[in-house]
Amino acid sequence: MDDIVPDKSAAEIKASAAQAPGVVLVFDGKGGVKRVPPDAETVVVPPKGFMLISGNSKSPEFKMWLKSELGPFNADALTVLSTRSRCTVLDDKAVVVLRVARPGAKTDDLGRQLLGIWLEKGRVIVASELNIPEFLGFANWAQSHYAPVSPADLVARLGLRASDRIEPLIEHLGDSIDTIEEELMLEHSADSRAKLAHLRRTLIGFRKLLWPQRDVLNTLEIEDLSFFSGRDRARLREASSRTARLGDELQALSERAVLIHEQIMDSRAEQMNRSMLVLAAVTVVFTPLTVLSGIFGMNVPIPYADDPHAFWVVMGLLIAVAGLCIWWMRARKWL
Protein backbone atom coordinates (compact mmCIF):
# COMPACT_ATOMS: atom_id res chain seq x y z
CA MET A 1 0.00 0.00 0.00
CA ASP A 2 1.08 3.58 -0.65
CA ASP A 3 0.76 4.63 2.99
CA ILE A 4 3.20 2.00 4.27
CA VAL A 5 6.62 3.36 5.16
CA PRO A 6 9.39 1.42 3.42
CA ASP A 7 11.13 -0.83 5.94
CA LYS A 8 14.80 0.15 6.02
CA SER A 9 17.63 -0.69 8.33
CA ALA A 10 19.55 1.94 10.28
CA ALA A 11 22.48 1.65 7.87
CA GLU A 12 20.21 2.18 4.86
CA ILE A 13 18.63 5.22 6.51
CA LYS A 14 22.06 6.75 7.18
CA ALA A 15 23.18 6.10 3.61
CA SER A 16 19.91 7.53 2.26
CA ALA A 17 20.30 10.64 4.43
CA ALA A 18 23.70 11.32 2.85
CA GLN A 19 22.04 11.22 -0.57
CA ALA A 20 19.14 13.50 0.40
CA PRO A 21 18.86 16.64 -1.81
CA GLY A 22 18.77 18.99 1.15
CA VAL A 23 20.56 19.97 4.34
CA VAL A 24 21.54 17.19 6.77
CA LEU A 25 22.37 18.04 10.38
CA VAL A 26 23.55 15.56 12.99
CA PHE A 27 22.79 16.18 16.69
CA ASP A 28 24.79 14.34 19.31
CA GLY A 29 22.00 14.41 21.93
CA LYS A 30 24.14 16.53 24.27
CA GLY A 31 23.65 19.96 22.72
CA GLY A 32 26.14 19.62 19.89
CA VAL A 33 25.32 19.74 16.18
CA LYS A 34 27.23 19.59 12.90
CA ARG A 35 26.36 19.82 9.23
CA VAL A 36 26.98 16.78 7.03
CA PRO A 37 28.97 17.69 3.88
CA PRO A 38 27.03 17.24 0.61
CA ASP A 39 29.67 14.81 -0.71
CA ALA A 40 29.48 12.46 2.31
CA GLU A 41 28.72 8.84 1.44
CA THR A 42 27.11 8.01 4.78
CA VAL A 43 25.99 9.73 7.97
CA VAL A 44 27.42 8.89 11.38
CA VAL A 45 24.91 9.48 14.19
CA PRO A 46 25.99 9.15 17.85
CA PRO A 47 24.14 6.46 19.87
CA LYS A 48 21.99 9.03 21.72
CA GLY A 49 21.80 11.47 18.85
CA PHE A 50 19.56 11.95 15.84
CA MET A 51 19.62 13.55 12.41
CA LEU A 52 17.64 16.33 10.75
CA ILE A 53 17.04 16.29 7.01
CA SER A 54 15.45 19.45 5.62
CA GLY A 55 14.63 20.25 2.02
CA ASN A 56 12.53 22.51 -0.15
CA SER A 57 8.96 21.22 -0.35
CA LYS A 58 8.70 22.63 -3.89
CA SER A 59 11.82 20.86 -5.14
CA PRO A 60 11.03 17.92 -7.50
CA GLU A 61 14.22 16.16 -6.43
CA PHE A 62 13.37 16.40 -2.74
CA LYS A 63 9.81 15.22 -3.42
CA MET A 64 11.11 12.18 -5.28
CA TRP A 65 13.48 11.41 -2.42
CA LEU A 66 10.62 11.69 0.09
CA LYS A 67 8.47 9.25 -1.93
CA SER A 68 11.27 6.71 -2.09
CA GLU A 69 12.07 7.17 1.60
CA LEU A 70 8.60 7.44 3.18
CA GLY A 71 6.18 6.25 0.52
CA PRO A 72 3.90 8.38 -1.70
CA PHE A 73 1.15 8.85 0.92
CA ASN A 74 3.44 10.16 3.66
CA ALA A 75 5.47 12.23 1.19
CA ASP A 76 2.28 13.98 0.05
CA ALA A 77 1.27 14.55 3.69
CA LEU A 78 4.48 16.56 4.14
CA THR A 79 4.41 18.55 0.89
CA VAL A 80 0.76 19.08 -0.11
CA LEU A 81 -0.58 22.49 0.91
CA SER A 82 -2.79 22.42 3.99
CA THR A 83 -5.12 25.06 5.40
CA ARG A 84 -4.63 23.97 9.02
CA SER A 85 -1.91 22.62 11.27
CA ARG A 86 -2.33 18.96 12.17
CA CYS A 87 -0.69 15.97 13.85
CA THR A 88 -1.08 12.36 12.69
CA VAL A 89 0.52 9.38 14.46
CA LEU A 90 1.43 6.29 12.39
CA ASP A 91 2.56 3.41 14.61
CA ASP A 92 5.68 4.79 16.32
CA LYS A 93 6.07 7.72 13.92
CA ALA A 94 4.29 11.03 13.52
CA VAL A 95 3.46 13.49 10.76
CA VAL A 96 3.24 17.08 11.99
CA VAL A 97 2.23 20.05 9.84
CA LEU A 98 2.72 23.58 11.21
CA ARG A 99 1.81 26.87 9.57
CA VAL A 100 4.16 29.75 10.31
CA ALA A 101 4.35 33.38 9.24
CA ARG A 102 6.76 34.04 6.41
CA PRO A 103 9.92 36.10 7.00
CA GLY A 104 9.16 39.81 7.08
CA ALA A 105 5.44 39.17 7.53
CA LYS A 106 3.12 42.05 8.34
CA THR A 107 -0.18 42.06 10.17
CA ASP A 108 -2.00 42.62 6.87
CA ASP A 109 -0.05 39.91 5.05
CA LEU A 110 1.14 36.95 7.10
CA GLY A 111 2.06 34.93 4.02
CA ARG A 112 1.72 31.64 5.89
CA GLN A 113 4.28 28.97 5.06
CA LEU A 114 4.07 25.26 5.89
CA LEU A 115 6.43 23.07 7.87
CA GLY A 116 5.89 19.40 7.05
CA ILE A 117 7.65 17.32 9.71
CA TRP A 118 8.29 13.57 9.74
CA LEU A 119 9.17 12.44 13.24
CA GLU A 120 10.61 9.07 14.23
CA LYS A 121 13.25 7.64 16.50
CA GLY A 122 16.65 9.01 15.51
CA ARG A 123 15.43 11.04 12.53
CA VAL A 124 13.45 14.16 11.69
CA ILE A 125 12.59 15.17 8.12
CA VAL A 126 11.32 18.69 7.44
CA ALA A 127 9.83 19.75 4.10
CA SER A 128 9.36 23.49 3.77
CA GLU A 129 10.18 26.49 1.61
CA LEU A 130 11.80 28.01 4.70
CA ASN A 131 15.52 27.74 5.30
CA ILE A 132 15.21 25.50 8.35
CA PRO A 133 18.78 25.84 9.70
CA GLU A 134 18.45 29.61 9.52
CA PHE A 135 14.92 29.50 10.96
CA LEU A 136 16.13 27.47 13.93
CA GLY A 137 19.36 29.41 14.45
CA PHE A 138 21.87 26.70 13.53
CA ALA A 139 24.83 29.12 13.67
CA ASN A 140 24.08 29.98 17.31
CA TRP A 141 23.73 26.31 18.24
CA ALA A 142 27.11 25.47 16.76
CA GLN A 143 28.75 28.13 18.93
CA SER A 144 26.74 27.82 22.16
CA HIS A 145 26.43 24.02 22.22
CA TYR A 146 22.72 24.44 22.97
CA ALA A 147 21.18 22.42 20.15
CA PRO A 148 18.09 20.19 20.60
CA VAL A 149 18.84 16.90 22.33
CA SER A 150 15.98 14.85 20.84
CA PRO A 151 13.54 14.87 17.91
CA ALA A 152 10.71 16.08 20.17
CA ASP A 153 12.93 18.88 21.46
CA LEU A 154 13.55 19.93 17.86
CA VAL A 155 9.79 20.03 17.11
CA ALA A 156 9.22 22.04 20.29
CA ARG A 157 11.82 24.57 19.15
CA LEU A 158 10.17 24.80 15.76
CA GLY A 159 6.94 25.65 17.57
CA LEU A 160 8.71 28.23 19.72
CA ARG A 161 10.36 29.83 16.68
CA ALA A 162 6.96 30.05 15.00
CA SER A 163 5.62 31.80 18.11
CA ASP A 164 8.65 34.14 18.18
CA ARG A 165 7.89 35.17 14.61
CA ILE A 166 4.24 36.01 15.30
CA GLU A 167 4.61 37.63 18.74
CA PRO A 168 5.78 41.09 17.48
CA LEU A 169 2.86 41.08 15.03
CA ILE A 170 0.44 40.55 17.93
CA GLU A 171 2.10 43.42 19.79
CA HIS A 172 1.58 45.59 16.71
CA LEU A 173 -2.12 44.67 16.73
CA GLY A 174 -2.29 45.75 20.37
CA ASP A 175 -0.72 49.10 19.45
CA SER A 176 -3.31 49.52 16.69
CA ILE A 177 -6.14 48.99 19.16
CA ASP A 178 -4.53 51.54 21.50
CA THR A 179 -4.43 54.04 18.63
CA ILE A 180 -8.12 53.52 17.84
CA GLU A 181 -9.03 53.97 21.51
CA GLU A 182 -7.02 57.19 21.65
CA GLU A 183 -8.78 58.51 18.55
CA LEU A 184 -12.14 57.79 20.17
CA MET A 185 -11.13 59.60 23.35
CA LEU A 186 -10.06 62.62 21.28
CA GLU A 187 -13.28 62.33 19.23
CA HIS A 188 -11.27 61.87 16.03
CA SER A 189 -13.24 58.81 15.04
CA ALA A 190 -14.14 59.56 11.44
CA ASP A 191 -12.56 56.35 10.11
CA SER A 192 -12.21 54.40 13.37
CA ARG A 193 -15.05 52.06 12.46
CA ALA A 194 -13.36 50.98 9.20
CA LYS A 195 -10.02 50.54 10.97
CA LEU A 196 -11.65 48.46 13.69
CA ALA A 197 -13.45 46.23 11.20
CA HIS A 198 -10.17 45.55 9.38
CA LEU A 199 -8.44 44.85 12.70
CA ARG A 200 -11.11 42.35 13.76
CA ARG A 201 -10.73 40.47 10.47
CA THR A 202 -6.97 40.36 11.04
CA LEU A 203 -7.45 38.96 14.55
CA ILE A 204 -9.60 36.16 13.15
CA GLY A 205 -6.80 35.21 10.75
CA PHE A 206 -4.25 35.17 13.57
CA ARG A 207 -6.43 32.93 15.72
CA LYS A 208 -6.82 30.49 12.82
CA LEU A 209 -3.03 30.30 12.74
CA LEU A 210 -2.32 29.99 16.47
CA TRP A 211 -5.00 27.74 17.97
CA PRO A 212 -4.38 24.77 15.61
CA GLN A 213 -0.65 25.00 16.39
CA ARG A 214 -1.41 24.78 20.10
CA ASP A 215 -3.62 21.73 19.49
CA VAL A 216 -0.90 20.04 17.42
CA LEU A 217 1.71 20.45 20.16
CA ASN A 218 -0.76 19.26 22.79
CA THR A 219 -1.63 16.19 20.72
CA LEU A 220 2.01 15.33 20.12
CA GLU A 221 2.76 15.67 23.83
CA ILE A 222 0.13 13.12 24.90
CA GLU A 223 0.80 10.59 22.12
CA ASP A 224 2.40 7.32 23.21
CA LEU A 225 5.60 7.44 21.16
CA SER A 226 8.29 5.14 22.53
CA PHE A 227 11.20 7.55 21.93
CA PHE A 228 9.61 10.40 23.91
CA SER A 229 11.06 11.02 27.35
CA GLY A 230 9.60 13.03 30.20
CA ARG A 231 11.85 15.92 29.24
CA ASP A 232 10.56 15.76 25.66
CA ARG A 233 6.97 16.03 26.81
CA ALA A 234 7.87 18.92 29.10
CA ARG A 235 9.48 20.76 26.18
CA LEU A 236 6.41 20.18 24.00
CA ARG A 237 4.21 21.37 26.85
CA GLU A 238 6.31 24.51 27.15
CA ALA A 239 5.98 25.24 23.43
CA SER A 240 2.23 24.58 23.61
CA SER A 241 1.88 26.90 26.61
CA ARG A 242 3.75 29.65 24.76
CA THR A 243 1.39 29.31 21.82
CA ALA A 244 -1.62 29.22 24.15
CA ARG A 245 -0.43 32.41 25.86
CA LEU A 246 -0.25 34.19 22.51
CA GLY A 247 -3.71 32.83 21.75
CA ASP A 248 -4.97 34.27 25.03
CA GLU A 249 -3.51 37.64 24.09
CA LEU A 250 -5.35 37.45 20.79
CA GLN A 251 -8.56 36.61 22.64
CA ALA A 252 -8.05 39.61 24.92
CA LEU A 253 -7.47 41.84 21.89
CA SER A 254 -10.64 40.47 20.30
CA GLU A 255 -12.64 41.29 23.42
CA ARG A 256 -11.16 44.80 23.48
CA ALA A 257 -12.11 45.20 19.82
CA VAL A 258 -15.70 44.17 20.64
CA LEU A 259 -15.85 46.71 23.48
CA ILE A 260 -14.49 49.44 21.21
CA HIS A 261 -17.05 48.51 18.56
CA GLU A 262 -19.81 48.84 21.14
CA GLN A 263 -18.37 52.19 22.21
CA ILE A 264 -18.42 53.40 18.59
CA MET A 265 -22.01 52.23 18.22
CA ASP A 266 -22.98 53.99 21.46
CA SER A 267 -21.28 57.17 20.26
CA ARG A 268 -23.10 57.03 16.94
CA ALA A 269 -26.40 56.37 18.71
CA GLU A 270 -25.76 59.31 21.04
CA GLN A 271 -25.04 61.59 18.09
CA MET A 272 -28.23 60.45 16.42
CA ASN A 273 -30.20 61.03 19.60
CA ARG A 274 -28.81 64.53 19.85
CA SER A 275 -29.82 65.23 16.26
CA MET A 276 -33.30 63.86 16.89
CA LEU A 277 -33.57 65.98 20.06
CA VAL A 278 -32.67 69.15 18.15
CA LEU A 279 -35.18 68.26 15.45
CA ALA A 280 -37.86 67.63 18.06
CA ALA A 281 -37.09 70.93 19.79
CA VAL A 282 -37.37 72.82 16.52
CA THR A 283 -40.65 71.06 15.82
CA VAL A 284 -42.05 71.92 19.25
CA VAL A 285 -41.09 75.59 18.88
CA PHE A 286 -42.30 76.13 15.34
CA THR A 287 -45.53 74.12 15.45
CA PRO A 288 -47.53 76.74 17.45
CA LEU A 289 -45.91 79.49 15.41
CA THR A 290 -47.07 77.79 12.23
CA VAL A 291 -50.60 77.52 13.63
CA LEU A 292 -50.71 81.22 14.53
CA SER A 293 -49.21 82.35 11.24
CA GLY A 294 -51.73 80.14 9.43
CA ILE A 295 -54.62 81.71 11.33
CA PHE A 296 -53.51 85.25 10.53
CA GLY A 297 -52.85 84.31 6.95
CA MET A 298 -56.41 83.20 6.19
CA ASN A 299 -58.16 84.90 3.27
CA VAL A 300 -60.99 86.23 5.44
CA PRO A 301 -61.42 89.56 7.20
CA ILE A 302 -59.59 89.59 10.54
CA PRO A 303 -59.68 92.10 13.38
CA TYR A 304 -57.20 95.00 13.27
CA ALA A 305 -56.28 94.22 9.67
CA ASP A 306 -56.05 97.94 8.94
CA ASP A 307 -54.17 98.82 12.12
CA PRO A 308 -50.53 99.86 11.26
CA HIS A 309 -49.29 98.33 14.55
CA ALA A 310 -51.04 94.93 14.10
CA PHE A 311 -48.03 93.34 12.37
CA TRP A 312 -45.70 94.11 15.25
CA VAL A 313 -48.24 92.91 17.78
CA VAL A 314 -48.49 89.58 15.96
CA MET A 315 -44.69 89.29 15.75
CA GLY A 316 -44.41 89.98 19.47
CA LEU A 317 -47.02 87.32 20.15
CA LEU A 318 -45.08 84.78 18.05
CA ILE A 319 -41.85 85.59 19.86
CA ALA A 320 -43.54 85.24 23.21
CA VAL A 321 -44.99 81.84 22.26
CA ALA A 322 -41.56 80.65 21.03
CA GLY A 323 -39.90 81.83 24.27
CA LEU A 324 -42.57 80.09 26.32
CA CYS A 325 -41.95 76.81 24.43
CA ILE A 326 -38.20 77.05 24.94
CA TRP A 327 -38.64 77.79 28.66
CA TRP A 328 -40.99 74.82 29.02
CA MET A 329 -38.50 72.42 27.33
CA ARG A 330 -35.64 73.72 29.48
CA ALA A 331 -37.71 73.25 32.58
CA ARG A 332 -38.21 69.63 31.62
CA LYS A 333 -34.47 69.37 30.75
CA TRP A 334 -35.17 68.53 27.14
CA LEU A 335 -32.69 71.19 26.05
Residue 100: helix, strand or coil by DSSP?
Answer: strand
Angle at 304 between CA 298 and CA 307, to 5 degrees: 120
Nearest alpha carbon to residue 54 among 124, 141, 147? 124
Mean pLDDT over 49-78 rounds to: 88
Locate all alpha helices (DSSP H) within 186-309, ordered by sequence.
192-222, 230-296
Q: Which of 176, 158, 156 is nearest to 168 (CA)?
A: 176
Q: How large a percentage of the chain has pLDDT more than 70?
A: 87
Minimal CA–CA distance to 93: which of 62, 72, 117, 67? Answer: 117
Residues 286-316 pLDDT 10s? 777 777 777 667 665 666 666 777 777 777 8
In this model, does residue 185 exceed pLDDT 80? Answer: no
Residue 205 has a pLDDT of 83
Q: Phi and psi at residue 283, in whole multiples of 5°?
A: -65, -45
Which of the pair, 300 or 255, is modelled with greater confidence? 255
Element (H, E) at 167: helix 151-185
- The whole-number pLDDT of residue 1 equals 43
3-state DSSP assignment of residue 44:
coil
**Backbone φ, ψ for residue 110 (5° rounding):** -70, -35
267-284 pLDDT per residue, tens: 777 778 777 877 777 777
pLDDT in tens, 9-58: 666 665 666 567 788 888 988 888 888 887 777 778 888 889 999 988 88
